[in-house]
Structure 1
């Protein structure tokens, strides 16, 4: 047999057998959306001061409610934009478990005890989107699935899910595009039961949260 023919035969055999064991590449698809303009959230206050509470006034076996604040959150977009809202708790792990979703931490005592928890809720009765009445819907992390929109106040989520602004009640189609949102916020909280706290000196409340706007 001619030597050149043997060489060609070996190359053809390699070509037929390579796909069976050589899978050394992977394709990655990149997706996303470029929005035409940004949205700017503005809160009417920079600090929520819950006042001074004496340990003698705390309930021993159950949480003690603190005073309530009602600031406003304005979100202005350059053009109508689709987005969802959520919170990032910068004191994660310090929230007292009161059994209510959306709790935020307010620090720990010197004995490493959870001081309490506070909540930021959107109140539809005090809110509008582009001058229209607003309703609320809770969506997953990607904004793919949404709960039925409601007129009930709803906590801004802290678990990565999204709060959507809707212009109709009773629909599960999710957030709508909005240019100007005026949201009434209800900020309230509780101090943990006195029996769970060691208060020998003044204990400062140390909450810190970021409102995150997620473009969809």
Structure 2
């Protein structure tokens, strides 16, 4: 009897072990009816033209003239969204920060420099509100920075959004049409750090993405 009881207990234990050797997978998401189309003036092209290597600082980085682009985001209805940017020249920025994007490499593989893109809420308008405030999330939209009028550099790992409520921590509000001006600041590496023996093109490229919330 004891042997039968022991065998029954072992079988029960084996059955439980087998029962816990599986796991369920769920695939979820939400398809929304709204869609947004972002656009930049000049086709999103910043062109500094030609300049001589002697125009660059030898020992320190050189700031090129600030450039501005008009930005427009048109949605087919009010929708909550945020913006982020992906560097298509990842690894070429001379500064390791999510708000700086690379300009590619010179002939010897040296990093040419960086650029950043800044949104200014004071120069941003929305179709359904008189004043826009900027807000930012570094947690994928779980928490948001207190909204204000300070300029914000768009990052590759954080969300940038806009709201019509000053001092809010609730994130972006639903916006249909957004328009404004963005500032692009470009910095070239010190001349002593570069191989400029041949023509060297600046090769910055990034993708601005609308993230639906």
Separation of aligned partners in 1, 2:184 and 2:164: 23
Aligned residues: 208
Give, in angstroms, the shift of residue 28 of structure 1.
2.8
Give, in angstroms, the shift of residue 17 of structure 1.
3.0
Separation of aligned partners in 1, 2:133 and 2:102: 27
Aligned to 1:17: 13
Map residues 102-113 of structure 1 onto 2, 5 A cutoff: 102-113=99-110
Separation of aligned partners in 1, 2:26 and 2:192: 55
Aligned to 2:154: 156
TM-score normalised by structure 2 residue count = 0.88
Q: Does 1:64 align with 2:62?
A: yes
Rg (Cα) greater in structure: 1
Map residues 17-56 of structure 1 onto 2, 5 A cutoff: 17-22=13-18, 23-46=20-43, 47-56=45-54
Separation of aligned partners in 2, 1:205 and 1:43: 19
Alignment gaps of 5+ in structure 2: none
Map residues 97-136 of structure 1 onto 2, 5 A cutoff: 97=95, 102-132=99-129, 133-136=131-134
Aligned to 1:76: 74
Query: Are 2:121 and 2:150, in contact at CA under 8 Å, matched by a contact in 1?
Result: yes
TM-score normalised by structure 1 residue count = 0.87
Aligned to 1:165: 162
Separation of aligned partners in 2, 1:64 and 1:85: 28
Query: Are 1:136 and 1:154, in contact at CA under 8 Å, matched by a contact in 2?
Result: yes
